[in-house]
Amino acid sequence: MRTLKKNIITLLCMLPLSGAVTAATPRIGVAMSAFDDNWLTILRTAIIQQAKTEGVQTQIEDGKNEIGTQLNQIQNFTASSPTAIIVNPVDSDAVQSISDDAAAANIPLVYVNREPANINSLPASQAFVGSSEKEGGTLQAKEVCRLLNGKGNVLIMMGDLAQQSAVQRTAAVVDVFSKAPCQGIKVVDKQVGKWTRTGGNNLMTNWLSTSLTFDAVLANNDEMALGAIQALKASGRPMDSVVVAGIDATVDALAAMKAGDLDVTVFQDAVAQGKEAVITAVKLARGEKLPNRVLIPYQLVTPANMNQFVK
């Protein structure tokens, strides 16, 4: 009986200590827009790796590209009082309630990759980590302009227009083609492909079934560009007769460039964005004052320099 009593006292003494250790471990809730995306998978992996480096636990949720699902995940995060929250938003325009919930719970918040529509009104405890979408679209369009010698017909494949990345990349491309020396380039059509390879394939297949003539295809991301390439090759069009451009410089895109099918892409550093999102979240949790934007530069990728990015 005396031994049993001793064991119970020992166990009770251990419980507060165990709780103190758990409470002292920083924890970040991560809400991703989707898991089934190649580029976002690299971003998510980088977040996990950097969190381990920082000694931070992560809880990562899949928004499945559904606004309601992601908003529920954010509410669950705020209710559990994590050290900070990182969000890759499903919809860049539907973020005000996310910012409000985090602010009300006094939890630092970092948006990653997709710039939130409320960027200019973020409270001091919130920030955006990503790249300038205008820069990405501009680099892509200028290289296509160079390859076309400033004249020709082009098609634009757009991502989800609920996201600032699609809107801003498209606007940047159109802006480049409206000014010298690229004014001889005409955008004959632009359609939404929802960021997917299947979407790009379907769009290109539809365009090929019409009387549209075009010299280049500019996709808001590599996945749609790869889908366009699939459809073009299936139709029998020689790949040296059309310029195909994407954005992200994914592994698959670089393989397509090496094969001579993809002419242009723009490197968006998913690893750097993921790492910086965690670092920024940790700094905000410490009370450090940071700018509301932390930008990672884009880099143009062509067959001439692609070997620098293959790793």
Which strand ranges, in their side-by-side order, compose the sheet holding 84-87? 57-62, 27-32, 84-87, 109-112, 126-130, 293-295
- What is the structure's pLDDT at 25? 82
| Tens digit of each residue's pLDDT (9 = 90 or more) over 183-234 | 999 999 999 999 999 999 999 999 999 999 999 999 999 999 999 999 999 9
* pLDDT of 6 strictly over 70: no
**pTM of the full predicted structure?**
0.78
> Which pairing describes strands 151-158 and 184-192: parallel, antiparallel, or unpaired?
parallel
Q: What are phi and psi of 258, to 5 degrees?
A: -65, -35
Decide if pLDDT at 19 tops 60.
no
Asked whether the predicted pLDDT for residue 5 surpasses 80, the reply is: no
Straight-line distance from the first to the last Cα atom of the chain, in angstroms, rounded to the nearest whole number: 65
pLDDT band at 284 (very low <50, low <70, confident <90, very high): very high
**Domains of the chain from N-terminus onward:** 26-131+269-296 (3.40.50.2300), 133-267 (3.40.50.2300)
Q: Is the pLDDT of residue 288 over 80?
A: yes
Asked if residue 58 has pLDDT above 60, the reply is yes
Q: What is the pLDDT of residues 86-139, one digit of tens each?
A: 999 999 889 999 999 999 999 999 999 999 999 999 999 999 999 999 999 999
Whole-number percent of the chain with pLDDT over 90: 87
- Per residue in 152-168, pLDDT (tens digit) is 999 999 999 988 889 99
Q: Using alpha carbons, select from 227, 224, 233, 248 the residue that is nearest to residue 300.
A: 248
Residue 301 predicted with pLDDT over 90 = yes
Is 8 a residue whose pLDDT tops 50? Answer: no
Inter-CA distances, 305 with 94, 102, 131, 199, 263, Å: 38, 42, 21, 28, 12
State phi, psi for 60 to the nearest 5 degrees. Answer: -110, 130
